[in-house]
Amino acid sequence: MRKLNFLLVVALVALLSSTVFAQGVPVDIPGTGVNFFLYRYEGQAVPHDKINAIWENISKAFQAWVDGGQQPGALSGKDVQVKGNDLYVKDQFILTVDQYHADANRATRAQLAEKWAANLRKGVDAFVAINIVK
């Protein structure tokens, strides 16, 4: 009985160890309240430079829409594309889904890319709805 309990504890620790030590920072679509995904990392140093690069890429896509006159039909969630493991808004690269995040989500990179693309679509639609010039 003791051996069985010990094995159960070891199995539980092994199962949870990947999530116990991982931390995450929500990456949202600025101004919308829509969380795009959770940027997971290990250790004490938050990867601000990588998260900021993603926000910069999203901002470039939104800036192109603003520069074009902020027309409602000129940008929508339908403009979010998955190419391999990369996400784009129109032709603006946003990010690549890596194996670390796929493993953390118990998905393939392609499956996770589709999930994040769905979240990004909601965020793009919310951003456009909030920022249409009236």
**What predicted TM-score, i.e. pTM, was given to this entire model?**
0.81
Number of domains in the chain: 1
Question: If you write DSSP's letter for every residue of the chain in order, what string do you get?
Answer: -HHHHHHHHHHHHHHHHHHHSEEEEEEEETTTTEEEEEEEEESS---HHHHHHHHHHHHHHHHHHHHTT--GGGS-GGGEEEETTEEEETTEEEEE--HHHHHHTTS-HHHHHHHHHHHHHHHHHHHHHHH---
Q: Report the chain's terminal Cα–Cα distance, integer Å.
A: 71
Cβ atoms 31, 127 nearer than 8 A: yes
Q: Provide the pLDDT for residue 116.
A: 98
Position 50 scores a pLDDT of 95
Residue 12 belongs to what domain range?
2-131
Predicted pLDDT of residue 130: 93
Per-10-residue mean pLDDT for the chain, 134 residues long? 47 43 87 94 92 96 94 94 98 97 96 98 96 80
Taking the C-alpha atoms of residue 86 and residue 134, their distance in angstroms, rounded to an integer, is 34
